[in-house]
Amino acid sequence: MAKRVLLVNKFYYPRGGDCVVVLNTEAMLRENGVEAEVFAMEYPDNFPARYQDRFASEVQFGGGVGNRLRALKRTLGMGDVRSHFEAVLDDFKPDVVHLHNIHSYLSPVVGELAHQRGIRVVWTMHDYKLLCPRYDCMLDGKPCELCFTGPKLNVLTHKCMKASFPASAVAWLEAAKWSRRKLESFTDVFLCPSQFMADKMLSSGFDSKRIKVLNNFIDPVKLRLYQGMEGAAVRDNYYCYVGRLSHEKGVDDLLAVASRLPYRLKVAGGGPLADELRDKYGACDNIEFLGMLDAEAVAQLLTHARLNVVPSQWYENNPLSVIESLCVGTPVAGAQIGGIPELINTENGVTFPPFDQAAMERAITKSMSHEWDYDKIAHLAKQSFSPENHLQILLKDVYGF
pLDDT (average), residues 290-304 = 92
Query: Of the candidates 334, 292, 298, which has an alpha carbon nearest to the alpha carbon of residue 218?
Result: 298
Confidence grade of residue 220 (pLDDT, cut at 50, 70, 90): confident
**pLDDT reading at 230 higher than 70:** no
CATH code, residues 4-217+386-399:
3.40.50.2000
Are residues 2 and 35 in contact, defined by beta-carbon separation less than 8 angstroms?
yes
Q: Is the pLDDT of residue 272 over 70?
A: yes
Cβ 186 vs Cβ 199: under 8 Å: no
Confidence class for position 208, pLDDT limits 50, 70, 90: very high
**CA 201 – CA 227 distance, rounded (Å):** 37
The CATH class, in words, for 222-384 is alpha beta
Instruction: Evaluate the CA torsion angle 29, 392, 223, 189 in order and state its sign.
Output: positive
For range 115-144, the mean pLDDT: 96
Quote the DSSP letter at residue 305: -
**CA neighbor of 194 nearest in space, from 324, 299, 343, 332:** 343
Q: In the chain, what are the domain boundaries?
A: 4-217+386-399, 222-384
**Amino acid sitting at position 378:** A
Cα angle value 152/156/158 (rounded, 5°): 105
> DSSP string spanning 68-82?
HHHHHHHHTT-SHHH
pLDDT band at 23 (very low <50, low <70, confident <90, very high): very high
pLDDT confidence tier of residue 225, bands split at 50, 70 and 90:
confident
Q: Is the pLDDT of residue 229 over 90?
A: no
Q: Is the pLDDT of residue 232 over 60?
A: no
Instruction: Convert the pLDDT of each residue in 132-187 to its tens digit.
Output: 999 999 999 999 999 998 889 999 999 999 899 988 999 999 999 999 999 999 99
Sign, CA dihedral 10-12-14-20, equals positive
Reply yes or no on whether the pLDDT at 126 is more than 90.
yes
Say if residues 377 and 326 touch (Cβ distance below 8 Å): yes
Given this model, what pLDDT does residue 303 score?
92
Angstrom distance (rounded) from CA 64 to CA 73: 15
Q: Which of 40-49, 232-241, 305-314 has the lowest mean pLDDT?
A: 232-241
**H or E element at residue 39:** strand 35-39
What contacts 319, CB < 8 A, 6 or more positions away? 17, 310, 312, 338, 339, 340, 343
Question: Between 277 and 234, where is the model more confident?
Answer: 277
Q: What local confidence, expressed as pLDDT, does residue 233 receive?
A: 66
Residue 228 has pLDDT above 60, yes or no: yes
pTM of the model: 0.93
68-104 per-position pLDDT tens digit: 899 899 999 999 999 999 999 999 999 999 999 999 9
Q: What is the pLDDT of residue 371?
A: 95
Closest of 42, 109, 99 to residue 74, by C-alpha = 109
CA–CA dist 45, 104 (Å, integer): 18
Note the pLDDT tens digit of each residue in 327-377. Answer: 999 999 999 999 999 999 999 999 999 999 999 999 999 999 999 999 999
Say if residues 327 and 378 touch (Cβ distance below 8 Å): yes
Assign 376 to helix, strand or coil: helix
Is the pLDDT at 10 greater than 70? The verdict is: yes
As a whole number, the mean pLDDT across the chain is: 94
Confirm whether 4-217+386-399 and 222-384 share one CATH topology: yes
Predicted confidence (pLDDT) at residue 7 exceeds the cutoff of 60: yes
